[in-house]
Amino acid sequence: MKQIAVVLSGCGHRDGAEITEAISTLIAIGQCKASYRMFAPNMDFAVTDPLTGQGTKETRNVLRESARIARGHIQDLRELKVDDFDALVFPGGFGAALHLCTFAREGAKAKVLPEVERVITQFHKASKPIGGICIAPALIARVLGSVGITVTIGNDQATASEITKTGARHEDCAVNDYVTDRDHKVITTPAYMYDDAKPAEVFLGISKAIYEIVEMA
């Protein structure tokens, strides 16, 4: 049974992992008869109000928040070892661009969390598939853009422009589809980069991407 590492960035689209995307990922992995383990960085962050989108004075922990989605079955990202897995997947949500890297604030010049950069680099060097959902492809582009990977975040031209500044190539894609870079084994799908997307459309795009990842692993 193929083993997939899934990296979360909290719980909730404003400041963590997008819940529909995360759960769709887990269901799709199971439908492909593969297995998964979940990881998240052990770091604190300032909470964003999910109703208003405004910052708050409350502080929470990414690993603990991610455990809400994982039902407690989650490990510190530092424990992720590339030799234990066949592929790596990053669900989206703004946490991917806030906590895993600083793309939300700095675009193409974003800083990447060292442990995140480590796992992306190691999976790429091991020629193991890497999947990115929603805004997470921007994170992958920041790490691997210098080798000319191709990714998609849908059709948001401002975000796509920042991605191309990393050296990566961007390809427009519908919400219910995905883009594969076969040379570098990078598979990406837009999901809720389309704000008005329906859950069924998001699930369909993620399911297709995960099937490709598992087949390629």
Catalytic residue positions, numbered: 134
Q: How far is CA 136 from the centre of its chain?
A: 4
